Structure 1
Amino acid sequence: MKKMLFSFQDMATGDKASKIIERQFARKGANVVQSDVTTSVKRAAGVSYREIMLTFADSQTVVLRVKQTGDIFQVLLNKKPLPIKNQDDHEAAVNEIVKALDSGRAKFQKLLARTKVKPPAGIRTAAPKMEQTLTEKRDALKEAIDIVNGEIAELRSKLAA
């Protein structure tokens, strides 16, 4: 019988299994910057599970749903299900997840860049006020240039006479 990586009852942020899985990802070049284990047991499709949420350096997320038997029954990559071929072999599963992270990185970064973030309601931007100030400065400079051009024309006419 194969030894399971996760102990369902003892799962917690920073436990031995969580550190092992983070280390496995780091060895494959995917650095975990934050990990969290849910304290509550969830249920979907007749399966009770707990989640381990991993956030990587490039802001991609992986959620591992662990059954009561200690094995991973579902993997979510950036909130989308990711089918895993090697469910019984954790190291091979990590390899598959890292490959999926690498292959989807460019698309994920484009999506992240396109996301528009609205500032909170209480915060106002200085852009409208700045535009008004700059317009006033531009108009004042135009007037000053016109005055100087008028003085130059006046001096030229005096020199010509």
Structure 2
Amino acid sequence: MNSPEYDRLGDLWEQRRRDDLDRWFAFLDDLERVLPDFTIGDATPGSTSGAFRCVAYANSARKPPPFRFVLVGCVSILAPIYAIYAVQYDFVGTERHNPKLSFEPLPPEMRASADLIARKLEATFDVRRLPREVADTPVPLIVQNKEPPETTLFHAFFGSQPENIP
């Protein structure tokens, strides 16, 4: 038997899929046009998360790259807010290893593209960035696999495993 909170989240996802899914995929198509040096994808983890999530993989001229970064944009279904962060990987052959999360401020090589994603999210979904100092606020909630005292507002609004991307 599901908790009432879990059932409400499922109901909210159904509503947001009806109301926002076409707009979400149009947003992803638009990102592909404005970020030609990136591979864009949907990384929404499903109805146990609190957000739509997109990924922008930086294409590299070097083969194989010694590292690669992925920009992630999240739009909460719980509040009119978003977050952008980066995941950087080391490569061993073609396999990704050692994910390293970067939040505000992002490394210089990521900022221009992250700012473009932010402007597109704000314009498309009428959302505002959740400041990092607020996102880091501890909350007394269990979110997926995170439990207090590790759980923050970021986890509640966007998901408990930000480094877990396709």
> Into which bin does the TM-score normalised by the smaller protein fall?
0.3 to 0.5
**TM-score between both structures, scaled by the size of structure 2:** 0.33
Determine which structure has more spread, i.e. the larger CA radius of gyration. 1
Question: Which is bigger in relative contact order (C-alpha 8 A, separation at least 6)?
Answer: 2
**TM-score between both structures, scaled by the size of structure 1:** 0.33
User: Which structure shows the bigger proportion of residues in strand conformation?
Assistant: 2
User: Which structure shows the bigger proportion of residues in helix conformation?
Assistant: 1
